[in-house]
Amino acid sequence: MIDTEVGTLARLNHHNIVRLVEVSKGMQSNPKKGSKEVRFIALELIGGGELFDFVALGGRLSEAQARYYYKSIIDGLSYMHSQGIAHRDLKPENLLLDKEFVLKITDFGFAAPIRGRDGSGLLQTQLGTASYMAPEIHLGKEYEGARVDLFASAIILFVILTQRPPFTSANPQDPHYRLIAAGRAELFW
């Protein structure tokens, strides 16, 4: 997984994406298991915490604040997608704030080529965080990386405005999701 993340981060250079500072190798010693070679990655220091904690502890964001952070998410995603990368695990816990409250997308452990491993433009691996996953992932279907990232970003927008998720998961068994999918948002509220 670390090779994927390093390879992805090495290709990205955007102010809303965590910056890879250095990759190095070293030896790790264990008295019982001996020594083994390990790789270390150093990322830029982002000391402001997670967007999740910012909202959970500070309350829901104003519309202006939410618009600012959502634009930052979309700018970072747009750049990533233009570089051929889908994140696939976008959630408030993977959005960090630096000391000046600039949003940084992080945790590229599930990142994949936007064109898919076979070049078809579709991804197949069922992964991510359930409450931010698009319906096609829950249903076990192939999916487009950019679309599932955008779906997750919309869930994040809802969370930062309301301080709660719109539904448990985007699947037909969830009653709140069913209302939204059926165009019955008036009953949702």
Catalytic amino acids? 89
Q: What is the DSSP letter of 93?
A: G
User: Which positions ≥6 away from 51 have C-beta within 8 Å?
Assistant: 69, 92, 93, 95, 96, 97, 103, 156, 160
Residue with tokens 């070049």: 119
Q: What are the C-alpha distances in Å from 15 to residues 98, 111, 173, 188?
A: 11, 18, 39, 37
Return the closest-CA partner of residue 80 out of 27, 25, 163, 17. Answer: 17
Structure tokens at 183: 């165009």
